[in-house]
Amino acid sequence: MTYEAVPGVVETREAFGETTLVVDPARLVEACTHLRDEEGFNLLSDIAAADYLGWGEQGVAGYIGTAAGRDLHEPGSQGLAHVPAPKPKRFSVSYHLLRVGDVPARVRVQVWLDDGEAVATLVPVWPAADWFEREAWDMVGVRFEGHPNLVRILMPDDWEGHPLRKDYPLGGEPVRFSGED
């Protein structure tokens, strides 16, 4: 499946049987309109925003050792002697599209953004994007230009902070056990 005709594509990746089109954020609406009208992707399945702050720093050995405390390339160290390649920017927003038709297909359109950068809204292209973009704004803090109603959706209206960012703490309380005071 080739997507050469899609405007604004910066990179195409194929992995695990899935196609990812990395698109320039400025040309996102153009690319998606093309995908909807010419390629027939009529259903927007999901919009997933992810924060890559700290990607690769912890080291592949999980919570055993950090980049500062253990040399991952040392032979015999635990885990794969491999650190994941750094990501271009801090946030990625992945749009998962589905073609409901005679030739079913899925594709992922991805844009990369830094903190504070905004991307155009896809509500005019697929109205289903409404709440997905609100959730991405609420949870990760990615702004969508032109969204008609960009307010918090899952957290209370007066909440501060964006919970799914990596620098936002998990929260909760320390667990107390009966018998200790």
Partner 1 sequence: MTVVPSTRIYEGTRIPPRVPTILDVDPSKHDPGDILRVNFGPNHPSTHGVLRLIVDLDGEAIAGIEAVIGYLHTGFEKTMEQKSWWKSVTYPARIDYLGFHANELEYVLAIEKLLGIDVPRRATWARMALAELNRIHSHLVWLGTAALELGAISMFWYAFDDRDAVLDLFELAGGTRLHTRYVQAGGLAEDLPPGFTDEVRKFCAAMPKSVDEYETILDKQKIWLERTKGIGLLSADDALALGQSGPVLRASGVDWDLRKNMPYLAYDEVDFDVPVYANGDVYDRYKVHMDEMRESVRIVLQCCDRLDEMEGEPWIADDRKVVLPPRHELHTSMESLIYHFKIVTEGYRVPEGEVYVVIESPRGEAGCYLVSDGGARPWRVKFRAPSFAALQATATVVQGALVADMVAVAASLDFIMGDTDR
Partner 2 sequence: MAERRPQLALKRELPLVSDRPLARAGLQSERVLWPERGPGVFEREVAEIEDALLLTTIDKAVAWARSGSVWPDTFGLACCAIEMMSIVSSRYDIARFGMERFSSSPRQADLLIVSGRVTHKMAPAIRQVYDQMLEPKWVIAMGACASSGGMFNNYTILQGVDKILPVDIHVPGCPPRPEALIEGIVRLHEKIRAGVPPAYEIRGVAE
The residue ranges that bind partner 2 (CB under 8 A) are 155-156, 163, 168-173, 175, 178
Alpha-carbon span 80 to 75, nearest angstrom: 10
Question: Which is nearer to partner 1, 7 or 18 (by Cβ)?
Answer: 18
Q: Which of 38, 81, 84, 88 binds partner 1 (CB under 8 A)?
A: 84
Closer to partner 2 at the Cβ: 114 or 173? 173
Return the closest-CA partner of residue 145 out of 163, 169, 129, 161: 129
Binds 60, which of partner 2, partner 1, none (CB < 5 to 8 A, cut-off by type)? partner 1
Residue 152 as a binder of partner 1 (CB under 8 A): the answer is yes
| DSSP single-letter state for residue 10 | E
Do 52 and 91 meet the contact criterion of CB atoms below 8 Å apart? yes
Helix spans in 50-128 (H): none
Choose between 30 and 58: whose C-beta lies nearer to partner 1: 58
For partner 1, the binding residue among 32, 130, 137, 144 (CB under 8 A) is: 130
The correct pick among 39, 131, 143, 146 for binding partner 1 (CB under 8 A) is 131
Six token digits for residue 51: 């924060």
Token digits of residue 61: 């050995």
